[in-house]
Chains A and B, each alone.
Chain A
Amino acid sequence: MEIINNSKEYDVIVVGSGAGGGMATKILSDAGLKIAVVEAGPYFDPANPDQMTQLKWPWESPRRGSGTTRAFGDFHMSYGDWEVDGEPYTVEKDTSFRWWRSRMLGGRTNHWGRISLRFGPKDFKSKDYDGLGENWPISYDDIKPYYDKLDKLIGVFGTKENIFNEPDGFFLPPPKPRLHELFYIKGARKSGVTVIPSRLSILTKRINNTRGVCFYCGQCDRSCSAYADFSSSSCYVIPSLKGGMVDLYTNSMVIEVKTDKNGRATGVSYINKDNGREYSIKGKVVVLAASACSSARILLNSKSKAHPNGLGNSSNLIGKYLHDTTGAGRTVFIPDLINRKTYNEDGVGGMHVYSPWWLDNKKLDFPRGYHIEIGRSFTMPEYGFGYNPNEFNKFFGLKVGGYGDKLRQDVKKYYGSTIGLSGRGEAIPRKDNYCEIDPNTKDKWGVPVLKFRYKWSDYELKQAKHMHDTFEELAYNMGGIALGNKPTKEQNYGISAPGEIIHEVGTTRMGDDPYKSVVNKYERLHDVDNVFVVDAGPFVSQADKNPTWTIMALSWRTSEYIIDQLKKQNI
Chain B
Amino acid sequence: MDRRESIKNILLGSIGSSVLLESCVSLDKEVLDKIWEYQYGRTPEEKERDEKFLNSKFFNENELKTIEKIANIILPPNEIGNINDAGVVEMFEFIAKDWSTPAHNNYGDKVLRRSIIVFDELCTEKFGLKLLECSESQIKLLFDEISYEDKSLKDQKESVRLFATFRGMVVTGYFTSEIGIKDLGYKGNTPNVWDGIPNDVLEQYKGIVSYDKEWIDKCVDQSKRGEIAEWDEEGNLLT
Contact = CB atoms under 8 A, between A and B. Distances in A.
Interface of A: 42, 50-53, 55-66, 68-69, 74-75, 79, 85, 148, 151-152, 155, 157, 159-160, 168-179, 182-183, 185-186, 197, 204-209, 213, 215-219, 336, 341-348, 379-389, 399-405, 407-408, 411-412, 415, 479
Contacts of B75: 403-404, 407-408
A384 B175 CA distance: 10
Contacts of A207: 228-229
A217 B191 contact: yes
B176 A346 contact: no
5 contacts: A60-B38, A62-B90, A85-B45, A205-B220, A407-B74
A276 B143 CA distance: 56
B188 A345 contact: yes
B154 interface: no
Helix, strand, loop or mixed for chain B's interface? loop
A336 B208 contact: yes
Interface stretch (B18-26, B108-116, B121-129, B178-186): B178-186
Interface of B: 37-41, 43, 45-46, 49-50, 53-54, 73-76, 78, 87, 90-91, 94-95, 98-99, 104, 143, 147-149, 164, 167-168, 171-178, 180-181, 183-198, 200-201, 204-205, 208-211, 215-216, 218-221, 224-229, 231, 235-237, 239
Given A159-B218, A176-B197, A343-B187, A411 B171 contact: yes
Contacts, number: 244
Nearest to A79: B43
Most buried by B among A62, A157, A382, A387: A62
A394 B38 CA distance: 39
Contact of B91 (A52, A53, A64): A64
Given A401-B149, A405-B76, A342 B187 contact: yes
Nearest to B187: A344
A298 B196 CA distance: 48
Given A59-B87, A380-B188, A401-B164, A182 B225 contact: no
A403 B75 CA distance: 7
B178 to A, nearest CB: 6
A404 B209 contact: no
Nearest to B167: A403
Helix, strand, loop or mixed for chain A's interface? loop
A408 B183 contact: yes
Contacts of A174: 218-220
Given A173-B220, A404-B75, A405-B76, 19 more contacts: A55-B190, A59-B177, A60-B37, A62-B50, A151-B235, A152-B231, A160-B236, A173-B221, A174-B219, A176-B197, A179-B201, A206-B225, A216-B191, A216-B192, A216-B194, A341-B200, A342-B186, A403-B147, A479-B208
A197 B216 CA distance: 10
A385 B209 contact: no
B4 to A, nearest CB: 9
Contacts of A347: 194
Contacts of A408: 75, 78, 183
Contact of B194 (A50, A51, A176, A379): A176
A326 B181 CA distance: 35
Nearest to A353: B215
A385 B226 CA distance: 36
B126 to A, nearest CB: 17
Given A206-B226, A216-B194, A343 B74 contact: no
Nearest to A161: B218
A60 B193 CA distance: 25
A404 B140 CA distance: 10
B175 A386 contact: yes
A381 B186 contact: yes
Contact of B235 (A168, A175, A205): A168
B201 A343 contact: yes
B215 A197 contact: yes
Nearest to B220: A173
A116 to B, nearest CB: 14
Given A216-B193, A401-B147, A172 B229 contact: yes
Given A63-B95, A74-B40, A381-B186, A400 B149 contact: yes
Most buried by A among B171, B174, B176, B191: B176
Contacts of B172: 64, 381, 383-387
Top 10 nearest A-B pairs (CB, nearest first) are A386-B171, A342-B185, A58-B176, A215-B191, A176-B196, A346-B188, A182-B209, A173-B220, A387-B168, A401-B148
Contact of A415 (B148, B184, B200): B184
Contacts of B148: 399-402
B229 A205 contact: yes
A523 B228 CA distance: 34
